[in-house]
Amino acid sequence: MLTSCCSGSAVVRAAMALILHSTSNNKNAAKGLIAAEYTGVKVELAKDFQMGVSNKTPEFLEMNPIGKVPVLQTPDGPVFESNAIARYVTKTKPDNLLFGSSLIEYAQIEQWNDFSATEVDANIARWLYPRLGYAVYIPPAEEAAVAALKRALGALNTHLASNTYLVGHSITLADIIMVCNLSIGFRVIMTKSFTKEFPHVERYFWTVVNQPNFCKILGEVKQAESIPAPPTKKPAPATEKPKAKEEPKKEVKEEPKPAEEEAAPKPKPKNPLDLLPPSPMILDDWKRLYSNTKTNFREVAVKGFWDMYDPEGYSLWFCDYKYNDENTVSFVTLNKVGGFLQRMDLVRKYAFGKMLIVGSEPPFKVQGLWLFRGKEIPKFVMDEVYDMELYEWKQVDINDEAQKERVSQMIEDHEPFEGQALLDAKCFK
Ligand SMILES: N[C@@H](CCC(=O)N[C@@H](CS)C(=O)NCC(=O)O)C(=O)O
């Protein structure tokens, strides 16, 4: 009797849409929404939710007496606290790998969930919120928060040096909760110069956040380029606290600019690559030849490349992914490479690249060929594209016929490539 009643209720839960009260751009709400994407549970955002208004109503306070979002409305009653909501969504579909496949995996997932809340999320908040004016800005308190966050990220980095995900070999609830918590840090305060100390955390974060189920909810995540300046005046009293706490990105944009920035728009500095002596090789001509050659590729495009190539004005580089043994899932590997090419957008005027995903079985090898303007890999690319550090870079010696042939084969997507099939080949042009 009890069994049939429970399973009936589970069927109802699985079929009806659960209602999530929150704005759509809240990283805490995202946890439940991403879990829903992975499990197929229907979760809908409450219509016309208005932060600071909807969460103050008696009906809302009935669901969550502290008046914070997110809150999940279920057929059996409301649930608040985002991690509890994500757990509920995950458990709505039984036999779910988001909770691992053994008791120890389950315990480790919960271990990382607690670590994520207390060591990562709390310290990001202690660093960020005073700078956004939501708490009093006290420099020694900030110093302590940053030190505690670095300690947590150091530990996370060590774990991720030999693990693709937090637990097991696929995404679990621990990754959903960790990456949502990290996302606000990466977006708003954890600049590249801060995160570069933790390369495995960087690789992990960008790999997971670029998964389709994460992108769908979090959108494109861009790393903060600067740290928000602390408020110059006293923070507003608690009752007048800005309402859109979950929208720090907007808030950052609205931060008053330092006086010298407001004074006069600085002329955009010229890219140093524009100051190089002119080269007879016109990159756009090569890209056009590459794109327009449909037949006889070796004779037309590859030969054309070597006729045009100017070793005084350009350099060629092979790159090899350092962590190929992590490339165990084809679409994750393809997304990783796709994300890298998107982030290379800033060098489009000065580069051409081919990225090969090699092998028909995992783990896949990721190997590439890049043509850069100038005799070095441009410094701004090394500084700004975190993926560069994930690859071993070796300059092509064009006096070595074997290396030249390898370049030709990479341009051509030659198959087999070094004895292996290609899973895919992506071009940056
Ligand atoms: N630990 C809570 C945090 C909830 C929280 O701080 N929510 C913020 C938005 S991200 C809020 O509702 N703030 C309104 C307020 O402080 O009144 C969770 O994970 O759900």
Give the pTM: 0.59
Instruction: Please check whether residue 287 lies inside any domain of the structure.
Output: yes
Q: Whose CA is nearest to atom 10 of ligand 1?
A: 246
pLDDT in tens, the chain (429 residues): 333 333 445 555 556 799 999 999 999 999 999 999 999 999 999 999 999 999 999 999 999 999 999 999 999 999 999 999 999 999 999 888 999 999 999 999 999 999 999 999 999 999 999 998 888 999 999 999 999 999 999 999 999 999 999 999 999 999 999 999 999 999 999 999 999 999 999 999 999 999 999 999 999 999 999 999 987 754 444 444 444 444 444 333 333 333 333 345 567 778 999 999 999 999 999 999 999 999 999 999 999 999 999 999 999 999 999 989 888 888 778 878 988 998 899 999 999 999 999 999 999 999 999 999 999 999 999 988 888 988 999 999 999 999 999 999 999 999 999 999 999 999 999
Of 126, 129, 128, 131, nearest to 144 by C-alpha is 126
Strand partners, 367: 320, 356
Atom nearest to 68 CA in ligand 1: 12
Q: How far apart are CA 317 and CA 304, in angstroms?
A: 19
Of 247, 255, 194, nearest to 225 by C-alpha is 194
Same domain, 421 and 311: yes
Instruction: Please check whether residue 50 lies inside any domain of the structure.
Output: yes
- Residue ending a domain, among 149, 184, 218, is 218
CB 373 within 8 Å of CB 273: yes
Instruction: Please check whether residue 224 lies inside any domain of the structure.
Output: no
- List strands edge to edge, sheet with 77-80: 43-45, 18-21, 71-74, 77-80
Q: Whose CA is nearest to atom 17 of ligand 1?
A: 68
- Residue ending a domain, among 41, 63, 92, is 92
Same domain, 7 and 149: no
Same domain, 214 and 285: no
Q: Whose CA is nearest to atom 12 of ligand 1?
A: 68
Instruction: Please check whether residue 35 lies inside any domain of the structure.
Output: yes
Please give the radius of gyration of the chain, using alpha carbons only, rounded to the nearest integer: 25
Q: Which of 245, 247, 251 to mutate to test ligand 1, by most ligand atoms within 8 A of the CB atom?
A: 245
- List strands edge to edge, sheet with 365-373: 391-395, 314-321, 365-373, 351-358, 422-428
CB 178 within 8 Å of CB 214: no
Q: What is the distance in A from the centroid of ligand 1 to the CA of 196?
A: 29
Same domain, 32 and 133: no
Q: What is the distance in A from the centroid of ligand 1 to the CA of 72?
A: 13
Q: Whose CA is nearest to atom 13 of ligand 1?
A: 68
Q: What is the distance in A from the centroid of ligand 1 to the CA of 192?
A: 27
CATH number of the domain at 206, please: 1.20.1050.10
CB 370 within 8 Å of CB 351: yes
Same domain, 59 and 138: no
Instruction: Please check whether residue 135 lies inside any domain of the structure.
Output: yes
Same domain, 149 and 109: yes
Q: How far apart are CA 9 and CA 113, in angstroms?
A: 28
Q: How far apart are CA 174 and CA 115, in angstroms?
A: 10
pLDDT score, position 15: 63
Cβ-defined contacts of 180-184 (< 8 Å, 24+): 180/27, 180/28, 180/30, 180/31, 180/34, 180/82, 180/218, 181/27, 181/116, 181/117, 181/120, 181/121, 181/124, 182/120, 182/124, 183/27, 183/30, 183/209, 183/218, 183/221, 184/27, 184/124, 184/128, 184/248
Measured from CB, residues less than 6 Å from any atom of ligand 1 are: 26, 28, 67-70, 81-82, 245-246
Same domain, 199 and 308: no
pLDDT score, position 266: 64
Instruction: Please check whether residue 326 lies inside any domain of the structure.
Output: yes
Q: How far apart are CA 209 and CA 187, in angstroms?
A: 12
CATH number of the domain at 76, please: 3.40.30.10
CATH number of the domain at 317, please: 3.30.70.1010
| Residue 373 belongs to domain spanning | 275-428
- Residue ending a domain, among 172, 199, 218, is 218
Q: What is the distance in A from the centroid of ligand 1 to the CA of 43?
A: 19
Same domain, 155 and 110: yes
Same domain, 61 and 164: no
Same domain, 31 and 157: no
Cβ-defined contacts of 7-13 (< 8 Å, 24+): 9/75, 9/76, 10/92, 10/94, 12/75, 13/74, 13/75, 13/76, 13/92
Strand partners, 43: 18
* Burial class of residue 428 in the structure, from the number of CB atoms within 10 Å of its CB (0-12 exposed, 13-18 middle, 19+ buried): buried
Q: How far apart are CA 343 and CA 388, in angstroms?
A: 10
Same domain, 179 and 68: no
Instruction: Please check whether residue 255 lies inside any domain of the structure.
Output: no
Same domain, 131 and 71: no
CB 197 within 8 Å of CB 149: no
pLDDT score, position 235: 44
Q: What is the distance in A from the centroid of ligand 1 to the CA of 29?
A: 10
Instruction: Please check whether residue 61 lies inside any domain of the structure.
Output: yes
Q: What is the distance in A from the centroid of ligand 1 to the CA of 309?
A: 57
| Domains held by the chain: number | 3
